[in-house]
Chain A
Amino acid sequence: MSATMVELRGVHKRFGALEVLRGIDLTVRTGEVTVLLGPSGSGKSTLLRAINHLEKVDKGFVLVDGELMGYRRSGNRLHELSERHILHQRTHIGFVFQSFNLFPHLTVLENVVEAPVSAQGRDRAEATAHARELLNRVGLSDKAEEYPRRLSGGQQQRVAIARALALRPKLVLFDEPTSALDPELVGEVLDVMRDLARAGTTMVVVTHEIGFAREAADTVVFLDAGRIVEQGPPAQVLDSPREERTRAFLGAVRH
C-alpha cells in the first residue's frame, strides 16, 4: 500500500451547462481522515462520487491506491474500462449514502453478506462470520435477522457502514451520512465513524458536522463553486481560516 491512497489531478465535471467541478487537485494519505466541507452545490458530493467512478469525470483523472479509476492508460490515451472491470475496482472502496440505500427485501445480515459473496467470490460461511463480527462492531448484533424497514434511521446507517466495511475496503467514502437522520440519532452514527477513524481506516467524508471534522479529521478541505478554496489541519481551516469564503461559510454553519 502506498502512502497516498487517493490522488485527483485536474478533475473537471459538468452536468449540461453547469460546471460542477472546475479543476480539482487533491491528495488523500493512507490511514487519514479527510473531511470535505462546503456550501450546498459546491461539488463536494460529486467529487466524492468521482473517486469511485459513480460519476464519470470529463477531464483529469483519479488514482486510488495507484490504480487509475475507470480507465486504462496507453500512451497519451485513456481507454474507458468495461463495466465489469469498473465494478471490480469498486469492491476495494466502501461507499455510505446519505439515504442509506439498504436493500429492503433482504435481511440486515443478507445486506452485509451480499457483496462479499457475489462481488468478491468469498466463501458464504466466512462472509457470514465476518458480517456478524461487523454488526457487533456497529452495535447491532441482535438485529441480524431483521428487515431494514424495522430499524431506526441511525440503525440503518450503521448497517450501511457495516455493509461497506464487509468488502474489507482500502478506503471508505461517506456522502453526508448523518444528514437524513433525526438529531438524536446523529451521535450513534458519528460514534461508529470515530471508532473507524481511530482504527486507522482511510476515510473521505462529506459532512456538515463541524464537531466531527474538528475531532476526527486529519485534513479539512473547503470547496466552493467547484474549486478547492483551502485545505489543511482542522485547527487551521476551522479556527483560523485564511479565506474570506471559508470564514463566511463557517460563520453561517455555526449560528
Chain B
Amino acid sequence: MTVAKDVAPPSVVAEPAEELTVVPARHPWRWVATAVVAVLLAMAVNALVTNPAWDWPTVGQFLFAPSILRSVALTLQLTVLGIVVGFVLGTVLAVMRMSPNPLLRSVSWTYIWIFRSVPLILQLLFWYNLALLYRTIGFGIPFGPTFVEIGTMDLVSPVTAAVLGLALHQAAYAAEVVRAGFLAVDPGQLEAAAALGIPKLRQFRRIQLPQAMRTIIPTAGNELIGLVKGTSVVYIMALSELFYQVQVIYTRNGRVIPLLLVAAIWYLALTTVMSIAQFYVERHYARGAQRALPPTPLQRLRATLRRDAS
C-alpha cells in the first residue's frame, strides 16, 4: 500500500469543490457538419424556389380549388372507411385465428393468405367488375328461397367497390397487426383476470385490449398512412379521388408538375395530421408502461421557454 501511496498523483481538489467550474468539451466536428448541412439545405431551397418550372403560382391557384377539395374529401372518406371496416374485420379475423375451433382458424388463415397475396390493384378490378361474375345479388335463406334480389350494378357502386376492395385487403393486414398485439400481452394478465373472476368480455375490453393497443398502435399508424396513399390506386376505377383529379386537370391544362405538387402537398398534410393524432393516442395507452409519460410538444416548448426565462 505504501507503494500505491507514492504513485498516486497529488489530489487536484485541493480547494472546496464549489469553487471549481465545469467546462464542457468542445466539439469542432459538430460545427463542420452543421455548416455542410446548412449549405446543402440552402441549395435545395434555392432550387425549389428559383426554378420557374415548379410553377408555384399554379400550385397556389389549384391547392384549394373546389374540385381538388372535393377529391381530398373522397380520399379521406375512402381512407376512413377502409381503415375502420378493415380493422373491425381484421379484429374478427384475429380472434378467429386465435380460436380453439379449427374451422374458424383455417378460414381466417386462408382469408389472410389470399388477400395478402393478390395485388390490391387486381382485387379492386375484381370488385369493380363484380357484375360480370354475378348479375344479381339475392338475400334470403342459404340454399333456400331468396326474398330480395338486387342488380349487382345498383348495389355495388364504384365507391362501394373501392371501399370494399381497400377494406378487404386492409383486413388481412389488420388481422396480423391485431394478433401481434394480443400475443404481446403477458399471459399472466389473463390468468390474473380469470383468477379474479372478471367476466370474459370485460377481460377483453379492460385488461387485454388496452395492453394490446400499445403494440397495435404504431403498426396501425403505418397501415393508416399506407392506406392514405394506397387510395391513389383507386384512380383505375375512374373515381375522382385526389390522384385521379390532378391527372384530369393536368391532361386538360398541361401543367403536370405543379398539379403533382398539389397532390403531394395534400398527401403530406393528411399524413401529418394522422401522425400527430397517433402521438396522442400512443401517449394515452402508455399509462403505467413507463415511469413517466413523454412530454407533449407543447409541454416541451413551455419547459424550454421557462428555462430560458429563468
Q: Is A103 an interface residue (CB 8 A)?
A: yes
Taking the closest CB of chain A, its distance from the CB of B206, in whole angstroms, is 7
The reply to whether A104 and B288 form a contact with Cβ atoms under 8 Å apart is yes
A84 with B200, Cβ < 8 A, contacts A97-B192, A101-B188 known? yes
Shortest Cβ distance from B95 into chain A, in angstroms? 15
Measured CB to CB, the nearest residue on chain B to A173 is B195
B216 to chain A, nearest CB (A): 14
Cross-chain pairs A/B with CB under 8 angstroms, 17 sampled: A54-B195, A84-B199, A87-B197, A87-B200, A88-B197, A90-B194, A90-B195, A99-B188, A105-B287, A114-B198, A118-B198, A119-B196, A147-B288, A148-B288, A149-B290, A167-B196, A167-B197
* Option from A91, A105, A115, A167 in Cβ contact (under 8 Å) with B210: A105
Which residues of chain A come closer than 8 Å to B188, judged between CB atoms? 97, 99, 101
The answer to whether A150 and B196 touch across the interface, beta carbons within 8 angstroms, is: no
Q: Do residues A149 and B196 form an inter-chain contact, with CB atoms below 8 A?
A: no
Asked if A101 and B189 sit within 8 Å, CB to CB, the answer is yes
Asked if B189 and A103 make an inter-chain contact with CB atoms under 8 angstroms apart, the answer reads yes
Choose among A89, A104, A107, A114 the residue that contacts B196 (Cβ–Cβ < 8 A).
A114
Q: Is the Cβ of B197 less than 8 Å from the Cβ of A147?
A: no
Q: How far apart are B2's CB and chain A's nearest CB, in angstroms?
A: 39
Write out the residue numbers on chain A whose beta carbons fall within 8 Å of the beta carbon of B202.
118-119
Say yes or no: A97 contacts B191, CB within 8 Å.
yes
Q: How far is the CA of A102 from the CA of B207 in the complex (A)?
A: 10
Q: Is A95 an interface residue (CB 8 A)?
A: yes
Compute how far the CA of A237 lies from the CA of B289 in the bound complex, rounded to whole angstroms: 45
Partner of B194, one of A54, A106, A114, A148: A54
A163 within 8 A of B: yes
Is the C-beta of A83 less than 8 angstroms from some C-beta in chain B? yes
B contact residues vs A (CB 8 Å cutoff): 186, 188-189, 191-200, 202, 206-207, 210-211, 285, 287-291
- Chain B min CB distance to A68 (Å): 17
Query: Is the CB–CB distance between B191 and A101 below 8 Å?
Result: yes
Instruction: List, in ascending order, chain B residues with CB within 8 A of A119's CB.
Output: 196-199, 202
**Given contact pairs A104-B211, A118-B206, A149 touches B289 in the complex (Cβ within 8 A):** yes
Any B CB within 8 A of the CB of A231: no
| Closest B residue to A121 using CB positions | B199
- Give the complex CA separation of A83 and B206 in angstroms: 18
Which A residues are in CB contact (< 8 Å) with B200?
83-84, 87
**Is B289 a contact partner of A90 (Cβ separation < 8 A)?**
no
Interface residues on A, range: 20 to 34
For residue B289, which residues in chain A have a CB less than 8 angstroms away from its CB? Answer: 104-105, 149
Which residue of the partner chain B has the closest CB to A116? B196
Closest residue of chain B to A87 (Cβ to Cβ) is B197
The residue of chain B having its C-beta at the shortest distance from the C-beta of A88 within the complex is B197
Which residues of chain B have C-beta atoms less than 8 A from A105's C-beta?
A: 210-211, 285, 287-289
Give the CA-CA distance A201 to B77 in the complex, in Å.
Answer: 60
Q: Is A52's beta carbon under 8 Å from chain B? A: yes
Q: How far is the CA of A138 from the CA of B166 in the complex (A)?
A: 54
CB-CB < 8 A to B194: which residues of A?
A: 54, 87, 90
Instruction: State A101–B199 Cα separation when bound (angstroms).
Output: 17
A89 to B196, CA, bound (A): 10
- Mark interface residues in A16-45 (1 if CB within 8 Å of B CB, else 0): 000000000000000000000000000000
Q: Which residues of B contact A164 (CB under 8 A)?
A: 196
Complex: chain A residue closest to B200, CB-CB: A83
Q: Which residues of A contact B291 (CB under 8 A)?
A: 149-150
- Residue-wise, chain A 99-141 has the 8 Å CB interface mask toward B (1 for contact) of 1011111110000001100111000000000000000000000
Question: Min CB distance, B18 to chain A, in Å?
Answer: 34
A82 CB to nearest B CB, Å: 10
Q: Provide the bound-state CA to CA distance between A120 and B196, in Å.
A: 10
Q: Which residues of A contact B198 (CB under 8 A)?
A: 87, 114-115, 118-119
Q: How distant is the Cα of A105 from the Cα of B196 in the complex, in angstroms?
A: 17
When distances are taken between beta carbons in the complex, the residues of chain A under 8 Å from B193 are 103
Identify the 3 closest CB pairs spanning chains A and B, nearest first.
Answer: A91-B197, A147-B288, A101-B192
Q: State whether A54 and B191 are in contact (beta carbons under 8 Å apart), knowing that A105-B288, A149-B291, A150-B291 are contacts in the complex.
A: yes
CA of A38 to CA of B200 in the docked complex: distance in angstroms?
34
- The answer on a CB contact under 8 Å between A114 and B197 is no
Docked pose: A84 CA to B200 CA in angstroms? 8
CB distance from A163 to the nearest CB of B (A): 7
Known contacts A54-B195, A97-B191, A115-B196; 17 additional CB pairs below 8 A are A87-B197, A87-B198, A90-B196, A95-B192, A97-B195, A103-B189, A103-B192, A105-B211, A105-B287, A105-B289, A107-B288, A114-B206, A118-B198, A118-B202, A119-B196, A147-B288, A164-B196
What is the distance, in angstroms, from A179's C-beta to the closest C-beta of chain B? 14
What's the minimum C-beta distance from A29 to chain B, rounded to whole angstroms? 23
